[in-house]
Amino acid sequence: MPMGLECDVLVAGSGASGFAAALTAAIDGLDVIMVEKADVFGGTTCFSAGVIWIPGSRQAREAGISDSREGVLSYLQAEAGNRLDRDKAEAFADNAASILDWFEANSHVSYMLSPAWSDYHPGQPGASKGGRSLGPRPFDGRTLGKWFDKLRPPLKTTTILGGMMVGREDLPQFFTMTKKLSSAQHVAKLFLRYAKDRVSYSRGTRLSNGNALVAMLARSAFERGVKLMLKTPVVELMTETGRVTGAVVEGPEGRRTIRARKAVVLACGGFPANDELRARLYDHVAAGKNHRTVAPADNTGDGIRLGRSLNVAVVEGQAQPAAWVPVSLVPQPDGTTIPFPHFIDRGKAGYIAVDKRGRRFINEAMSYHDFVPAMVEACRDDPDVHCHVICDSAGIRAYGLGAAPPRPGRLGPHIASGYIKRADTLTELAALCGIDAKGLSQTVSRLNKGAALGEDPEFGKGTDPYQRFNGSIGRSPNPCVAPIDRGPFYAVRLVPGDIGTFIGMRTDAHARALDTSGQPVAGLYVVGNDAASFMGGTYPGAGITLGPALVFGHLAARHISVGN
Ligand SMILES: Cc1cc2nc3c(=O)[nH]c(=O)nc-3n(C[C@H](O)[C@H](O)[C@H](O)COP(=O)(O)OP(=O)(O)OC[C@H]3O[C@@H](n4cnc5c(N)ncnc54)[C@H](O)[C@@H]3O)c2cc1C
């Protein structure tokens, strides 16, 4: 066995939650080692949009948006009911904004507000119609030096030309580049930077979304002396007289011990890629139905297994076991598929989702977390769960469909691969997709009648600020509704998916792991998706996993550094 290592804090996992803990501890003067199972760092966070839900931020206040502790807590209470972990919710509400300020003052982390980004259920008490969700500013990957190549790339299906990132904040410019000069200039600049990058780098270095967040945290952590070891999973926790004192890791040179003088932080990103746990804990999978995670294959629930070995409690009774998203599967040249998460296109005007009977089953502009259970229910008696999102030529030209880009992007390859179905009539499209043609035609006739007036009598699409936020730019009176009447018509097939898990270990407001009798396990902290969602498996707004990942990562490190 190679020589053991020693540090103050050992962090397992290099996503947002692990880096938040590692960076804070390092800034507090502690000696930190971070170990990562994969050969790249950044975890699911690198695939994400990097959005954080942080109520009452400086950015919101500067935009004139006021918020209150009571408002935040009553919204969380209304969403999660008796599943809300009140202690953690209060710790979050009390600390989130000042912790974001702290990261911005002490590191490269930098966030901007998207003022119109409403909470997902704006009709609930305490909900905000905009001001709690922030996105990362683009970050220059070149400043990571040799580590740039080890940063997990974004999902391939969400990049352009095989490696150019498009930030959430760039999307409006892409959607209006054929109509507005300023948008065209913005997009042209992005392409130019990308072309230059590709002379020296394997992908674009203008990082946005979750890649930007991880790069900001990682650069700061490296500057503060955090040591990162890749391909080195924690396989076992070490204890002495009931206290966690380190871990056994399995690295390229074999097994070794890492002694942690103060604490071990588990930040292994939950279990979205664990087949066995999914089959037990996701109802539709337990019923034999299909499912596809968007999270990386390394997130197999190691943290939970390690915690369980020390009797740490797992909170299973969440409203939903995971954060759902409908995905389409994009065929790759090698015969595999890569999931594309459908966060936005469903909400646009002239897009509907139908089951195989040709019926709509939900207001398509509702959040992804709400969409999937409705899809599962609509397919209750079917052998698998799927639906199709359908639009016409006006829609696809303006907004694309799934991974197929809007004009002037190329649709041809997606039609050739069978990912997108195209037909001159809705009857032919229905036949291509295995949808009942009569059902689809009746659904579209009903939709078109209401859409002429900007209404959706059947499902009320476009009736709240969250839905309108994702609607078609500049369309009034209802940005989420338009007739589907200009052939050819297009469809893409969606199946249930997830972006991470909500079931996880029980922790307190300092992120200490709690055992089955509610007592802290000395020396053990759990953050990110390894910890149970304190929102009880509900999804109140954009950024509700990464906001808490930063906040509880920070609080864990603070508790460790003051001594415990
Ligand atoms: C497409 C997409 C978009 C998303 N957008 C958002 C968003 O905008 N806002 C938001 O809040 N959430 C978003 N999410 C969800 C969010 O990405 C996750 O909830 C979050 O990244 C989880 O962070 P984490 O630190 O817990 O885990 P991760 O970022 O997954 O990091 C965990 C790391 O631990 C490593 N690991 C696993 N086992 C071990 C072990 N035994 N030893 C050492 N390391 C180990 C893994 O390899 C991984 O690198 C999105 C997810 C996806 C897929």
Model pLDDT for residues 454-501, shown as the tens digit of each residue:
999 999 999 999 999 999 989 999 999 999 999 999 999 999 999 999
Q: Whose CA is nearest to atom 1 of ligand 1?
A: 48
Percent of the chain with pLDDT over 70: 99
Instruction: Tell me, using a 6 A CB cutoff, whether residue 233 lines ligand 1.
Output: yes
Q: What is the pLDDT of residue 351?
A: 98
Kindly tell me the burial class for residue 347, based on how many C-beta atoms sit within 10 Å of its own C-beta (0-12, 13-18, 19 or more). buried
For residue 486, which amino acid is it?
Answer: R
Reported confidence tier of residue 172, pLDDT bands at 50, 70, 90? confident
pLDDT at position 2 over 80: no
Q: What is the pLDDT of residue 527?
A: 98
Kindly tell me the burial class for residue 129, based on how many C-beta atoms sit within 10 Å of its own C-beta (0-12, 13-18, 19 or more). middle
Residue pLDDT, tens place only, 93-102: 999 999 999 9
Distance 125 CA to ligand 1 centre (A): 30
- Return the exposure string of 500-536: e unless at least 16 CB atoms fall within 10 Å of the residue's CB, then b: bbbbbbbbbbbbbbbbeeeebbbbbbbbbbbbbbbbb
425 CB neighbour count, 10 Å cutoff: 13
pLDDT at position 560 over 70: yes
**CA-209 nearest atom, ligand 1:** 8
pLDDT at position 408 over 90: no
pLDDT at position 4 over 90: no
Whole-number Å distance between alpha carbons of 564 and 561: 8
Q: Choose the residue to mutate in 34, 268, 327 for probing ligand 1, maximizing ligand atoms within 8 Å of C-beta.
A: 268
Distance 214 CA to ligand 1 centre (A): 10
Q: What is the pLDDT of residue 1?
A: 63
CA angle 524, 528, 534 (to 5 degrees): 95
Whole-number Å distance between alpha carbons of 266 and 232: 14
Q: What is the pLDDT of residue 564?
A: 57
DSSP reduced 3-state for 68? coil
Residue pLDDT, tens place only, 519-534: 999 999 999 999 999 9
Residue pLDDT, tens place only, 290-301: 999 999 999 999
Whole-number Å distance between alpha carbons of 243 and 460: 55
Instruction: Tell me, using a 6 A CB cutoff, whether residue 18 lines ligand 1.
Output: yes
Q: What is the pLDDT of residue 169?
A: 82
Top-confidence residue, 193 or 536: 536
Q: Which of 506, 33, 362 is nearest to 224 (CA)?
A: 33
Eight-class DSSP state of 141: G
Instruction: Tell me, using a 6 A CB cutoff, whether residue 499 lines ligand 1.
Output: yes
User: Would you say 398 and 360 are in contact if contact means Cβ atoms under 8 Å apart?
Assistant: no
Q: What is the mean pLDDT of residues 341-354?
A: 97
Q: What is the mean pLDDT of residues 334-346?
A: 96
Q: What is the pLDDT of residue 506?
A: 98
pLDDT at position 231 over 90: yes
Dihedral pair phi/psi, residue 207, rounded to 5° = -90, 140
pLDDT at position 165 over 90: no
Instruction: Tell me, using a 6 A CB cutoff, whether residue 10 lines ligand 1.
Output: no
Instruction: Tell me, using a 6 A CB cutoff, whether residue 43 lines ligand 1.
Output: yes
Instruction: Tell me, using a 6 A CB cutoff, whether residue 54 lines ligand 1.
Output: no
Q: What is the mean pLDDT of residues 5-24?
A: 98
Reported confidence tier of residue 415, pLDDT bands at 50, 70, 90? very high
End-to-end CA distance of the chain: 31
Q: What is the pLDDT of residue 43?
A: 98
Q: What is the mean pLDDT of residues 371-385?
A: 97
Eight-class DSSP state of 178: T
Whole-number Å distance between alpha carbons of 103 and 22: 12
User: Would you say 267 and 303 are in contact if contact means Cβ atoms under 8 Å apart?
Assistant: yes
Reported confidence tier of residue 168, pLDDT bands at 50, 70, 90? confident
Reported confidence tier of residue 159, pLDDT bands at 50, 70, 90? confident
pLDDT at position 3 over 80: no
Q: What is the pLDDT of residue 170?
A: 85
- Return the exposure string of 357-391: e unless at least 16 CB atoms fall within 10 Å of the residue's CB, then b: ebbbbbbbbbbbbbbbbbbbebbeeeeebbbbbbb
Instruction: Tell me, using a 6 A CB cutoff, whether residue 37 lines ligand 1.
Output: yes
